[in-house]
Amino acid sequence: MTATRAFAAQSATTPLTHFTINRREPGPKDVKIAIEYCGVCHSDLHTVRGEWSGTKYPCVPGHEIVGKVVAVGPGVSKFKVGDRVGVGCMVDSCGECESCKAGLEQYCYPGNVGTYNGHDKHSGGHTFGGYSTAITVTEHFVLSIPDALPMNAAAPLLCAGITLYSPLKHWHAGPGKRVGIIGLGGLGHMGVKLARAMGAHVVMITTSPEKAADAQKLGAHEVILSTDKAQMKAASKTLDLLMNTVSATHDYNAYQRLLRIDGAQVLLGVPPTDMPPPAVGRFIGNRLTLAGSTIGGIAETQEMLDFCATHNIVSDIEMIRMDQVNDAYERMLKGDVKYRFVIDMATLAA
């Protein structure tokens, strides 16, 4: 075990502060990574503040991790010391169920092991995430970061990127498809870039009028202000697919009117409280689908990173120091981030 610097919340109501965790020495199939950067996902905030049930404290969040390999176990074949690597939202899964065998580790039947707040089968406690200077992960859950991608701006691809890439592919976003992205935050801005690169017609649906110009710069063909009833009405039945990235409790039924016959709305955001029930009439009257999706499998995450390298896609980031993370959470809640905070882990090591 190596004592490792980290930043942790000790309860739902206390700010994150310095904390020391133990990282295991690499076992036969393990890769040890010196973390260079870690993105700040809204899920970190939900978890730290106990907005979802079941947060275990101390809580070290962070699941958009990039860094360099510093040690490998003797059975590791995919990585060597010095490689540029990433870790997303999972660090393990059963490896044996139907989902794992199909490369859908995120849907592991007994449950995947979250990068933080998961059951750590090595320590017997819970897992600690990327707000730390190092992490040890079994090689199957380690991704290669293509050389073409800058490390810091690639970090958010590990969660925000794959969370959009996977459902966009699953629902066949591409030429001839009109795709609406709801919410221009960390996930949403990746959705705009990825859907555009896949060849879809992209429509940004936002509550923030001041984000309209940015949405177009990011690749949206059109912008709808969802708080403007006239704009929502004018866009009725114009879209094939909706990616809902909203982090707050809201009525997703309001967006269903935008869907054409056979359209689908995919829920990606995980608001703290239950959402209202579906407005059944609109669903059955238009043969609509209400769907959900979470991150992506490991092979698909590597495919997404390679797709981003080919299409020159990274996240738009604002770099912060580790000790700015509590302020960053407040700013994220106000929508004051363009469009992902990334922590420079050198500021924790110092």
| H/E stretch holding 179 | strand 178-182
Q: Which 168-187 residues touch ligand NAP, going by CB under 6 A?
A: 183-187
Residue 46 binds which of Zn ion, ligand NAP, none (CB < 5-8 A, kind-dependent) = ligand NAP
* Tokens standing for residue 94: 């059963």
CB of 80 to ligand NAP, least distance (A): 30
Residues 18-57, one symbol each (x = binds ligand NAP by CB under 6 A, - = not), give -----------------------xxx--x-----------
Residue 203 or 314 having the CB closest to Zn ion: 314
**CB under 8 Å to 289, separation ≥6 — which residues?**
262, 263, 264, 265
Residue 132 DSSP symbol: B
Contact indicator for 287, 262 with CB cutoff of 8 Å: yes
Q: In this complex, which beta carbon is closest to ligand NAP, that of residue 26 or of residue 62?
A: 62
Q: Which residues of 197-221 are buried (b: 16+ CB within 10 A; e: fewer)?
A: bbebbbbbbbbeeebbebbeebbbb
Decide: is 304 part of the binding site for ligand NAP (CB under 6 A).
no
- Residues 6+ positions from 251 with CB-CB distance below 8 Å: 275, 276
Closest approach, Cβ 43 to Zn ion, in A, equals 4
CB of 233 to ligand NAP, least distance (A): 18
Name the segment binding Zn ion (CB under 5 A); options: 23-31, 40-48, 97-105, 205-213: 40-48
127 touches ligand NAP (CB under 6 A): no
Q: Is residue 294 at the binding interface for ligand NAP, with CB under 6 A as the rule? A: yes
Q: What is the largest CA-CA distance in the chain?
A: 63
Q: Of residues 9, 35, 38, 41, which one binds Zn ion by CB under 5 A?
A: 41
Q: Which partner from the list ligand NAP, Zn ion, none does 301 bind, CB cut-off 5 to 8 Å by kind?
A: none
Distance of closest approach, residue 297 Cβ to ligand NAP, in angstroms: 12
59 in Cβ contact with 47 (< 8 Å): yes
Task: Compute how many residues bind Zn ion; rule: CB under 5 A.
Answer: 3
From the list 43, 245, 247, 293, which residue makes contact with Zn ion (rule: CB under 5 A)? 43
Residue 268's binding partner out of Zn ion, ligand NAP, none, with CB under 5 to 8 Å set by partner kind: ligand NAP
**231: phi then psi, degrees, rounded to nearest 5:** -65, -40
- Give the range of 95-103, 111-119, 129-137, 267-275 binding ligand NAP by CB under 6 A: 267-275
How far apart are the C-alpha atoms of 40 and 254, rounded to whole Å?
29
Question: Using CB distances below 5 to 8 A depending on partner kind, what does residue 266 bind out of Zn ion, ligand NAP, none?
Answer: none
Q: How many residues bind ligand NAP (CB under 6 A)?
A: 29
φ/ψ of 61, rounded to 5, equals: -80, -170
HSE of 238 in the Cβ direction (CA atoms, 13 Å)? 15
* Residue 193 interacts with which of Zn ion, ligand NAP, none, CB < 5 to 8 Å by class: none
Q: Is 119 exposed, middle or buried (0-12, 13-18, 19+ CB in 10 A)?
A: middle
**CA terminus-to-terminus distance, the chain:** 21
Identify the CA nearest to 184 among candidates 59, 295, 335.
335
**Closer residue to ligand NAP in complex, CB, 26/185:** 185
> Candidates 138-146, 169-177, 195-203, 239-247 — which segment interacts with ligand NAP by CB under 6 A?
239-247
Q: Which two tokens stand for residue 297?
A: 């499998």
Q: Which parts of this chain interact with Zn ion (CB under 5 A)?
A: 41, 43, 159
Residues that bind ligand NAP (CB under 6 A): 41-43, 46, 159, 163, 183-188, 206-208, 211, 245-248, 250, 268-271, 294-295, 332, 335
